[in-house]
Structure 1
């Protein structure tokens, strides 16, 4: 089941890479960052709207990075990368979630909370 490739550029994973695609995603990320900085700098929206909008923009950028840079899709050549992400995400959510809970309740668990 091995696929001998004498030329490294003929490898299926290398064939998926494209310079214009990388440039497009880079420009999208740069534009999203500029929008976020502009929204915060100009104070055009309320704090509650920014609290929802900024993570939504960050999520869009993260999805674009996963699709463009890591080629996470359901194609036959990339299915194992997607499977590894699906199996890793619950661990990341649990780890980050428990860390956030720990720091939010830190004041109540120490003597500093009573002061």
Structure 2
């Protein structure tokens, strides 16, 4: 809705961020219209909320849990690229941007 400001939103988390135009547009809309936004967290992987900050391998088999497929890993890499290309430079200095990183062992492109 043009001209509509979301004045009460302070913290936004998007899990499963993709490089889709609609996802980038939604994120930019939030940045432009959530006037009290303090923190934006973007996570390119949908992994049921694993909380490890650096996403290092988390279980005894040294695999991220739950495991995700190669296609989802590729989409996550594209999502991270889109964040850097289209979103990061639009984040105001008053907003903290958190981008969850991929696991360096399990989420590599082969």
TM-score tier by shorter-chain length is: under 0.3
Structure with the higher helix share, 1 or 2 = 1
Q: TM-score, normalised by structure 1?
A: 0.25
Bigger radius of gyration among the two: 1
Please, what TM-score do these two structures have when normalized by structure 2?
Answer: 0.26
